[in-house]
């Protein structure tokens, strides 16, 4: 069995005006977890949860003058995986 936890802090992202009073994306803290089990040497079953501390947060997409910059909402997610390695 494996149990992994990842925590991360992302600082606020400032818009093109450079004003810290109106960030494009506010700072946030997030956490991911993974629980994996190997019933056989080559098989793995895992349950993964991502962005578990909030129901959503915003992330940043870069751009330039031709393509505007937008913040993107990222939701919490939970999924399972089944892997076979030979």
pLDDT at position 26 is 84
Range of the domain at 77: 2-84
- In tens digits, what is the pLDDT along the chain, a chain of 86 residues? 999 999 999 998 776 665 555 567 888 999 999 999 999 999 999 999 999 999 999 887 666 666 666 778 899 999 999 999 99
In the chain, how many domains are there? 1
CA distance 82 to 86: 14
Token digits of residue 70: 């937008």
pLDDT computed for residue 13 by the predictor: 79
Task: Please state whether the predicted TM-score (pTM) of the whole model is above 0.85.
Answer: no
> Nearest to residue 34, comparing CAs of 74, 77, 84?
77
């Amino acid at each position: 069995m494996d149990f992994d936890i990842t925590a991360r802090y992302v600082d606020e992202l400032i818009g093109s005006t450079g004003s810290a009073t109106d960030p494009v994306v506010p700072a946030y803290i997030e956490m991911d977890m993974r629980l994996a089990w190997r019933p056989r040497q080559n098989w793995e079953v895992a349950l993964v949860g991502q962005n578990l501390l909030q129901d959503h947060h915003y992330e940043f997409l870069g751009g330039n003058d031709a393509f505007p910059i937008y913040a993107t909402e990222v939701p919490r997610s939970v999924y399972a995986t089944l892997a076979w390695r030979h």
